[in-house]
């Protein structure tokens, strides 16, 4: 049996933020979301998250998971945090993985290896460690001399509690542990606060347990702890490199990868090309053959096969196969664009549906609109969907053409096969198959300029300037 307990009650003072540290975002997930994701790959029987600072926010952020939340109302240290789980695991027998909620780059296989070593050796505790080039800030792990293959831990001392000599030790504590629960439960009540921070340190439990073993990670990037914004940025960079090399290995072309960001939550099919300065976020899915960018932001959207998106912003929308978007288009608030459409420059679509082969090529705004198939929305067509109080719907039938600079005042329904004259302002429904003209007639007043304007002076009437 395996239980997982994630420490997430701290404020994260060094972040200088109102948001609890573990909810800061990293590549489309919270720090805690990353840790939880990694832990869940082990399919633990019990999943506990220890919450305290901003606990309502933390609970809400993880509401869709099946978790036991344990309150640590006062943050008296990592040891105190783990003491809080004792009543929740009274009946539990097995191993408990204790994970810091601020170590988000941990890989599942590292956790599996830790658990395996722990179980194979019958350890009381197994600690994930690393030999760090710059160990500053981390707790130092001290081991018995001798057998290098299995490192016996004697004690862990926090950076601030180390003597200068102890500080030379480069083996650090990652904040990822595996404990035999019966042993941990036995020693947790023995913790004292005799340290620089006057806190109950989880790391002190190793003094009362045996055998305790250290396992060095191979990739020290995995155990980067996030305590401040610089470490958050460093982690983001590492995660981006991981994500992007993963997609390239899976058959996605990235042009100038350094200028591209891709959230951990994005899915991309092979033979997609992502051009420079493009950002793919949230639950975005890009189907094969599509070319996204340069200069585009696609968020929580589904892009079909062979779609082209250039210099555009697409959020919460669906774009079907063979459609081209942009340059400079903005799709937001649940737009669905059909197959083979063209959405061109300076077009904004909001909460609208376009049928297959419909074009909105230039300078238009369609809001709360349902347009049929093969509609041609002329340049400068605008739906006046908002009367200052409510939003109203516009419906445009199949094969209808709106003339340039038409205004469709919603609520309005325009039939199929309609031609709307340029410059029309439509306020009433239009039946199928007709031409509709709704604009003032042109008035020409002949000779107006001659009869009303004073005559310009003749050249001979202009005075020469006085010589100076």
The three-state secondary structure class of 141 is: strand
Q: Looking only at residues 214 through 253 of this chain, which bind ligand UD1 when binding is defined by CB under 6 A?
A: 225, 227
Among 47, 55, 83, 100, binds ligand UD1 (CB under 6 A): 100
Among 80, 118, 279, 401, binds ligand UD1 (CB under 6 A): 80
User: Residue 331, interface with ligand UD1 (CB under 6 A)?
Assistant: no
Residue 463 burial (CB count, 10 A) = 5
Taking the least distance from each CB to ligand UD1, the nearer of 187 and 266 is 187
The residue range among 54-62, 97-105, 320-328, 440-448 that interacts with ligand UD1, by the rule CB under 6 A, is 97-105
- The rounded distance, in Å, linking the Cα atoms of 102 and 50 is 13
CB of 116 to ligand UD1, least distance (A): 22
Among 2, 15, 50, 212, binds ligand UD1 (CB under 6 A): 50
User: Residue 55, interface with ligand UD1 (CB under 6 A)?
Assistant: no
The residue range among 36-44, 73-81, 255-263, 298-306 that interacts with ligand UD1, by the rule CB under 6 A, is 73-81
Among 75, 253, 288, 373, binds ligand UD1 (CB under 6 A): 75
Strands 151-157 and 140-143: antiparallel
- The rounded distance, in Å, linking the Cα atoms of 318 and 178 is 44
Binding partner of 265, given Ca ion, ligand UD1, none, CB within 5-8 angstroms per partner class: none
The backbone torsions φ and ψ at residue 255, rounded to the nearest 5 degrees and listed phi first, read -95, 120
Q: Measuring CA to CA, which residue among 156, 153, 151, 160 is closest to residue 175? A: 156
User: Residue 76, interface with ligand UD1 (CB under 6 A)?
Assistant: yes
User: Residue 36, interface with ligand UD1 (CB under 6 A)?
Assistant: no
- The rounded distance, in Å, linking the Cα atoms of 460 and 415 is 64
Q: Looking only at residues 92 through 131 of this chain, which bind Ca ion when binding is defined by CB under 5 A?
A: 102
The residue range among 225-233, 378-386, 387-395, 414-422 that interacts with Ca ion, by the rule CB under 5 A, is 225-233
Taking the least distance from each CB to Ca ion, the nearer of 19 and 318 is 19
Say how many CA atoms lie within 13 Å of 308 toward its Cβ.
10
- The rounded distance, in Å, linking the Cα atoms of 233 and 229 is 6
Q: Which two tokens stand for residue 417?
A: 């096969």
Do the Cβ atoms of 82 and 97 come closer than 8 Å? no
What stretch of H or E contains 401?
Answer: strand 401-402
Q: Measuring CA to CA, which residue among 298, 304, 341 is closest to residue 321? A: 304
The angle at the Cα of 98, spanning 97 to 104, to the nearest 5 degrees, equals: 105
The residue range among 6-14, 59-67, 254-262, 319-327 that interacts with ligand UD1, by the rule CB under 6 A, is 6-14
User: Residue 139, interface with ligand UD1 (CB under 6 A)?
Assistant: yes
Q: Which two tokens stand for residue 221?
A: 């990037």
Region label for 463, one of left (φ > 0), alpha (ψ between -120 and 50) or beta (otherwise): beta
Strands 151-157 and 394-396: unpaired
Could you give the residue numbers annotated as active site? Answer: 362
CB of 84 to ligand UD1, least distance (A): 9
Do the Cβ atoms of 341 and 326 come closer than 8 Å? no
- The rounded distance, in Å, linking the Cα atoms of 79 and 82 is 5
Taking the least distance from each CB to ligand UD1, the nearer of 236 and 336 is 236
Among 95, 158, 222, 356, binds ligand UD1 (CB under 6 A): 158
Among 225, 293, 326, 415, binds Ca ion (CB under 5 A): 225
User: Residue 78, interface with ligand UD1 (CB under 6 A)?
Assistant: yes
Binding partner of 77, given Ca ion, ligand UD1, none, CB within 5-8 angstroms per partner class: ligand UD1
Q: Looking only at residues 263 through 282 of this chain, which bind ligand UD1 when binding is defined by CB under 6 A?
A: none
User: Residue 104, interface with ligand UD1 (CB under 6 A)?
Assistant: no
Binding site for ligand UD1 (CB under 6 A): 7-10, 22, 50, 52, 72, 75-78, 80-81, 100-103, 138-139, 156, 158, 172-175, 201-203, 225, 227
């Amino acid at each position: 049996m395996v239980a997982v307990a994630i420490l997430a009650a701290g404020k994260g003072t060094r972040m200088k933020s109102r948001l609890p540290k573990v909810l800061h975002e990293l590549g489309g997930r919270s720090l805690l979301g990353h840790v939880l994701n990694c832990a869940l790959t082990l399919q633990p029987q019990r999943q506990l998250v220890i919450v305290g600072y901003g606990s309502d926010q933390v609970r809400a952020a993880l509401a869709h998971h099946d978790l036991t939340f344990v309150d640590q109302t006062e943050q008296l240290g990592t040891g105190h945090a783990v003491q809080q789980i004792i009543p929740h695991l009274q009946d539990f027998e097995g191993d408990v993985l204790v994970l810091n909620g601020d170590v988000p780059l941990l890989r599942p296989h590292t956790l599996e290896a830790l658990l395996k070593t722990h179980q194979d050796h019958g350890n009381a505790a197994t600690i994930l460690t690393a030999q760090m080039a710059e160990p500053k800030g981390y707790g130092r792990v001290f081991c018995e001399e001798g057998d290098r293959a299995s490192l016996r831990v004697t004690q862990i001392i926090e950076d601030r509690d180390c003597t200068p000599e102890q500080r030379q030790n480069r083996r650090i504590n990652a904040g990822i542990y595996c404990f035999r629960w019966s042993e941990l439960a036995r020693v947790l009540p023995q913790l004292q606060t005799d340290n620089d921070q006057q806190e109950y340190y989880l790391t002190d439990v190793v003094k009362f347990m045996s055998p305790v073993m250290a396992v060095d990670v191979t990739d020290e990037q995995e155990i980067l702890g996030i305590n401040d914004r610089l470490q958050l940025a460093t982690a983001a960079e590492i995660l981006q490199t991981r994500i992007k090399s993963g997609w390239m290995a899976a058959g996605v072309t990235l042009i100038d990868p350094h200028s591209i960001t891709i959230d951990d939550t994005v899915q991309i099919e092979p033979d997609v090309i992502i051009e420079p300065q493009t950002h793919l976020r949230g639950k975005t899915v890009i189907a094969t053959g599509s070319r996204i960018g340069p200069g585009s932001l696609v968020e929580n959207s589904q892009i079909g096969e062979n779609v082209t998106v250039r210099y555009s912003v697409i959020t919460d929308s669906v774009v079907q196969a063979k459609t081209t978007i942009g340059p400079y288009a903005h799709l937001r608030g649940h737009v669905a664009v059909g197959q083979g459409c063209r959405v061109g420059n300076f077009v904004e679509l909001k909460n609208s549906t376009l049928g297959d082969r419909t074009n909105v090529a230039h300078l238009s705004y369609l809001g709360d609109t349902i347009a049929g198939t093969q509609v041609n929305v002329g340049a400068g067509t605008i739906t006046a969907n908002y009367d200052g109080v409510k939003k109203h719907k516009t419906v445009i039938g199949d094969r209808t053409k709106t003339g340039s600079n038409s205004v469709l005042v919603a609520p309005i329904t325009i039939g199929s096969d309609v031609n709307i004259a340029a410059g029309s302002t439509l306020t009433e429904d239009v039946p199928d198959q007709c031409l509709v003209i709704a604009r003032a007639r042109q008035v020409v007043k002949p000779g107006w300029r001659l009869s009303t304007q004073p005559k310009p002076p003749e050249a001979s009437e202009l005075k020469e300037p006085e010589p100076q």
